[in-house]
Amino acid sequence: MGNDVKDTVVQADDGLPPAVQKEMKALSDRLDSLMQLIEDSPAIRKAGYVTEDGGGADKNLKSFGDFLTAVRRRDMKRLSTVYRTGEDATKTMTEDEGAAGGILVPEEYRADLLRVADIASPIVGLVQRIPVNVDSGELQALDEFVAPTAGVGDTATAAGLTAAIRAEGADYDTTEPTFTWMNFRVHEIGGLVAVSKELNADSPVSIEAMLRQLFGIAIAHKLEHYILRGTGVGQPLGVLNAPCAIGISPDVNSYFGYADALEMLSRHMPITDRVRWAMHQTLIPDLGTWEVGTAGAATAKIADLGYGEPLRSQHLPPADSSGCIVLGDWGAYLLLERSGLTVAYSEHFYFGSGKIAWRFDQRVDGMPWLKKYITLADSGGTTTVSPFVYFND
């Protein structure tokens, strides 16, 4: 693969908790052990899972494991003829932060990895994916955060378009929707892959499934972290840092109660049908103590309020922290995808510790669909709602 890839493996763990970063680094070399097993195991070679000769040989032998083996061997001939016919597999993409070489994962494997990612993170599976063909630009969106005239039947969700009674023979009132612009700039998001100790030397099928599962899980958690908590500075903008999100203060500090959930519902406005609660699992003890009725005559469950049981996310803050639970319309989050997934391999990045590194990355940006919360058209004209409401403990 040449120096354009092997020496450009970069860390992309900014913003992750130190414990998660440490775990990913400590386990990253296990993927190399798995790949070495694929190359060395007689059972796997006889099964025709990877080519022994490489290059243009065995053109009908294609698998995700064989593709990764070619990346590891820096077998550009095989990557360009078997997996990249007619394309420049050696093309190096760059970003403001510096060179970032990699090999684009073939579409047939990329689709499978994205499906695994959606399963590993239902939140990632719910967001809107929008392909873009430029590194930066603007998206046109309806201006839904200009307050409408209160109490006359207008609405902010029509972006300034209004309707009125027309007297016989009179002209129609003319109004126009207002548009706004959302700026985007793609970022390279990636990381190092964690691989289990349990390796199966006898079943190429299970190895294929393991490789796809591990890459898919790693992709999902990277994207989920930024969808939830991205700062918008050099990375996607997450819902907890977005101006459109609304925080609900607790009735009782350090406790998420039934009344708090009702308050969140009262400030939530869905835009799509992809609404779900999402929470850190340390909030479960609070949910198990809900009581309603006179003197706590009955118990209540969050699922009774609509949208099912909450999705659990380790990337949300823990209980007793702002953002530990979110009521989100995840279809109102835009994930802008500039390029497909790429992978790279380096023997040198962790040379001092005797480790190797597999890197995956994808060029994306992301942000909520709205730039600000929505003001309702009630007579008071002061009620604000949003597709994203979080508990501000």
Q: Could you tell me if residue 61 is left (phi over 0), alpha (psi between -120 and 50 degrees) or otherwise beta?
A: beta
> For residue 231, how many other CB atoms are within 10 A of its CB?
14
Considering the domain boundaries, does residue 157 fall inside one?
no
Residues 106 and 202 reside in one and the same domain: yes
Contact 159, 142 (CB under 8 A): yes
What distance in Å separates the CA atoms of residue 123 and residue 75, rounded to the nearest whole number? Answer: 36
Whether 289 and 220 share a structural domain: no
Residue-averaged pLDDT of the chain = 75
**Is the CB of residue 124 less than 8 Å from the CB of residue 313?**
no
CA dihedral 16, 21, 24, 28 (to 10 degrees): 120
- pLDDT band for position 386 (cuts 50, 70, 90): very high
Name the burial class of residue 71, with classes exposed (0-12), middle (13-18) and buried (19+) by CB atoms within 10 angstroms of its CB: buried
Reading the block at residue 108, the tokens are 């047939």
Tens of pLDDT along 231-282?
A: 998 889 999 999 999 999 999 999 999 999 999 999 999 989 999 999 999 9
Is 278 a domain residue? yes
* pLDDT tens profile 150-194: 656 666 565 556 565 566 666 666 666 666 777 888 877 666 554
Quickly count: other Cβ atoms within 10 Å of residue 381's Cβ: 13
The whole model's pTM is what?
Answer: 0.70
Q: Mean pLDDT throughout 307-325?
A: 95
Report yes or no on 166 lying in a domain.
Answer: no
- Is the domain of 126 the same as that of 266? no
Same domain for 355 and 258? no
Domain count, the chain: 2
pLDDT digit string (tens) for 193-231? 544 334 444 445 566 666 777 777 778 888 899 999 999
The domain of 123 spans 3-134+183-237+335-368
29 lies in the same domain as 111 = yes
Question: Is residue 151 situated within a structural domain?
Answer: no
For 281, counting Cβ atoms within 10 Å of its Cβ (0-12 exposed, 13-18 middle, 19+ buried), the class is middle
Q: Which residue from 36, 66, 68 is spatially nearest to 49, judged by alpha carbons?
A: 66
| Domain presence at residue 142 | no
Residue 172 lies in a domain: no
For residues 253 and 201, membership in a common domain is answered with no
Let me know whether 281 and 341 are in one domain: no
Backbone dihedral region of 232: left (phi > 0), alpha (psi from -120 to 50 degrees) or beta? Answer: left
Is residue 303 included in any domain, yes or no?
yes
177 falls within a domain? no
Residues 20 and 58 in one domain: yes
Q: Report the alpha-carbon distance of residue 105 to residue 307 in Å, rounded.
A: 36
274 and 127 in a common domain? no
**Can you name the residues that pair with 268 across neighbouring β-strands?**
386
Q: From CA 79, how far away is CA 72, in angstroms rounded?
A: 11
- CA-nearest of 186, 188, 211, 199 to 109 is 211
Q: How far apart are the first and last CA of the chain?
A: 50
Q: Give backbone dihedrals phi and psi of 115, rounded to 5 degrees, phi first.
A: -65, -40
331, 274 Cβ separation under 8 angstroms: yes
Shared domain for 126 and 55, answered yes or no, is yes
- Residue 272 and residue 270: Cα distance in Å, rounded? 6
Detail the DSSP E strand segments found in the chain: 93-95, 98-100, 103-104, 128-131, 136-142, 179-185, 187-192, 246-248, 275-279, 291-292, 298-299, 311-312, 325-329, 333-337, 342-346, 357-368, 374-375, 384-385, 388-391
Same domain, 189 and 307: no
Q: Are residues 215 and 361 in the same domain?
A: yes
387 closest CA partner among 367, 366, 373, 371? 373
Q: Which of 117-131, 165-179, 266-280, 370-384 has the lowest mean pLDDT?
A: 165-179
pLDDT over 80 (residue 376) = yes
DSSP code at position 252: B
